[in-house]
Each structure stands twice: as C-alpha cells, then as structure tokens.
Amino acid sequence: MPIQAARHVLLCAALFAGGLAATAAQAEGLRPGAVFVQAGGGETDLGAASAGLLWPWAWRAHALGGEFGLQTELFASHWRARGLSGSRQGYTQIGVLPLLRYRLDEGRSPWFIEGGIGLSLTDRLFSTPARSMGSRWNFSDNLALGRQFGEQGRHEWSLRWQHTSNAGLKKPNPGLDLVLLRYSARF
C-alpha cells in the first residue's frame, strides 16, 4: 500500500474512532435511548436495509418557535445492487452519525425535522455498471421528516434521504442517494 494511501486510511480510522469516543462521551450515558430499523432504495437499482441505536444528548435549545436537540446514531446497513458481472452484489456499511433535530411548537409538536453528517465505512468498494465509488470511507449526509406517536411519543416514523459520498477526497465520487422509511422505538 502506498504511504499516502496508508496515511489516508489511518487518518480516516482516527477520525472515525474520535467521533465515536466524542459522541459517546456527550451522550446521556452509554446505554442507548432508542433502536431503529429502516429500509428503502435508490438509484442504480440499489436496495438497502439498516438497523441501529440512538443516544439522545441532554442539550436542548429553544429557537425559531421550536426546540433543537441532538442525538447520535450508530448504524449497520446492507445494500444490494447489480454488480459489474450483472448478478446482485451485497455490501455492508457501518457508520456513526450525529443528528440535529428540530421539533415544532416549542418542542411540543409530534412532528420533527432532523439532519446530520457522519462517517461510514463499507466492507468493499461499491461498484456497479452505472457507478463506482472511489473509497470505502465515505460521509453520510442525512435529512428526515418524521412524527412521534404512542405513549409519551416513544414511537416514530420518518421518511429519510441519505447521500453517501467521499466529498471528492478520492475519485471517482459519484455519490449514492437513498430514500428510506424508518421506524424507531424509544426505551
């Protein structure tokens, strides 16, 4: 492995580990506050299913007529897409994602909007006839619109958009877009 590539891998690994440590320290303890599952699809005949854990942060701020809050997500995804040989290929993605959530009506509304940018790693390079990624390390940009329901708002449905790319750090970098439906349950 060339020295520059090894440095890039070590830098990404250090950033990922540092992000995990920092978000865990900021969260309200090591025990997660929620679990989620999600599924959806995207361009290039891509299908995805994910599961993960959420850690809410204690920080809250009231502004713009609503309430802002933070949470950290740790996820694992399985992607399926048509490979270069024409057969379906599987890819595993893991990641960590800090999210900023905005709830309407000073935080009393069951509706929320959230977004965040995190880091992810796939088990191998994503490569299909339509597009190929230049790196296994990528950023995961996420936006969602959702609604809490049930006793004390412990259940949520959200419609999410996820964009995965390496921000031009390595070529090619076409990026991947997914639309996902998520169900979350808080403990």
Instruction: For residues 185 and 2, give the distance between their C-alpha atoms in angstroms, rounded to a whole number.
Output: 45
Task: Assess whether 8 carries a catalytic annotation.
Answer: no
The catalytic position among 8, 78, 155, 163 is 163
DSSP SS3 for 109: coil
Task: Write the single-letter amino acid at 84.
Answer: L
Q: Of 50, 140, 165, 184, which one is the catalytic site residue?
A: 165
- The CATH classification of domain 3-186, taken from the options 2.40.160.20, 2.40.110.10, 3.40.50.300, 3.40.50.1100: 2.40.160.20
Select which of 78, 127, 155, 177 is catalytic.
Answer: 177
Residues 155 and 162: their CA atoms lie apart, in Å, by 21
pLDDT given for residue 16 in this prediction: 54
- Per-residue pLDDT of 35-94, as tens digits, reads 999 999 998 789 999 999 999 999 999 999 999 999 999 999 999 998 777 788 999 999
DSSP state of 132: B
pTM: 0.81
> What local confidence, expressed as pLDDT, does residue 45 receive?
84
Cα–Cα dist 4/61, whole Å: 42
Q: Which of 92, 94, 71, 123 is closest to 16 using CA atoms?
A: 94
Read off the amino acid at residue 152. Q
- 105 a catalytic residue: no
The answer to whether the beta carbons of residues 83 and 102 sit under 8 Å apart is no
- Known active-site residue 155: no
Q: Which residue has the higher pLDDT, 168 or 18?
A: 168
Give the mean pLDDT of 139-145.
97
Contact (Cβ atoms closer than 8 angstroms) between residue 109 and residue 124: no
pLDDT higher than 90, residue 3: no
20 — pLDDT class (breaks 50, 70, 90): low
CA angle 163, 143, 174 (to 5 degrees): 15
Written as one letter, the residue type at 117 is: I
* Average pLDDT along the chain: 87
| d(C-alpha 141, C-alpha 49), whole Å | 17
- Are 124 and 133 contacting, i.e. CB atoms less than 8 angstroms apart? no
Mean pLDDT of the 106-134 span: 93
CA distance 92 to 80: 9
